[in-house]
Amino acid sequence: ETGVTQTPRHLVMGMTNKKSLKCEQHLGHNAMYWYKQSAKKPLELMFVYSLEERVENNSVPSRFSPECPNSSHLFLHLHTLQPEDSALYLCASSQGDGGAVNSPLHFGNGTRLTVT
């Protein structure tokens, strides 16, 4: 148990569907992150939220839309995805003071997304 819970664990969706990934952290952290892990590629940072404000958006296509309603919850809304968006989507949290240097990131176990 990492303290970061992601649901669902697996998701299959068509290209015209709209779905959402959910992340919840029980660690009292104030920063949350979305990462994408594709087969044979390193993890890619997608979005960073600190104190519920988005502080980083790494040129992610608009078909991915994050939402952070409070410091414990993070969502990734998905619409009109492409098959190449199939990947493992990982959520993480940290305390945020000093960035990731002095506050290790705690990751969930991810949502395995397949776009058909």
The smaller minimum CB distance to other proteins, of residues 15 and 51, is found at 51
Binding of residue 100 to other proteins (CB under 8 A): yes
Applying CB under 8 A, among 21, 48, 78, 87 the residue interacting with other proteins is: 48
Residue 42 CB neighbour total at 10 angstroms: 7
Is residue 66 within 8 Å of residue 79, measured between CB atoms? no
Q: Which one of 11-19, 68-76, 77-85, 106-114 is the stretch in contact with other proteins (CB under 8 A)?
A: 106-114
Q: Is 107 in the site for other proteins (CB under 8 A)?
A: yes
Those residues whose C-beta lies under 8 Å from the C-beta of residue 47, and which sit 6 or more positions away, are 33, 34, 54, 56, 57, 58, 60, 66, 76
Residue nearer to other proteins on the CB measure, 16 or 42: 42
Please give the size of the binding site for other proteins, defined by CB under 8 A.
Answer: 24
Going by C-beta distance under 8 Å and a sequence separation of 6 or more, which residues neighbour residue 98?
Answer: none
- Give, as ranges, the residues between 28 and 47 that touch other proteins (CB under 8 A): 31, 33, 42-43, 45
Q: Is 98 in the site for other proteins (CB under 8 A)?
A: yes
**DSSP at 84:** G
Instruction: Report the alpha-carbon distance of residue 33 to residue 16 in Å, rounded.
Output: 26
Residues contributing to the site for other proteins (CB under 8 A): 2, 4, 31, 33, 42-43, 45, 48, 50, 55-56, 90, 92, 98-101, 104-110
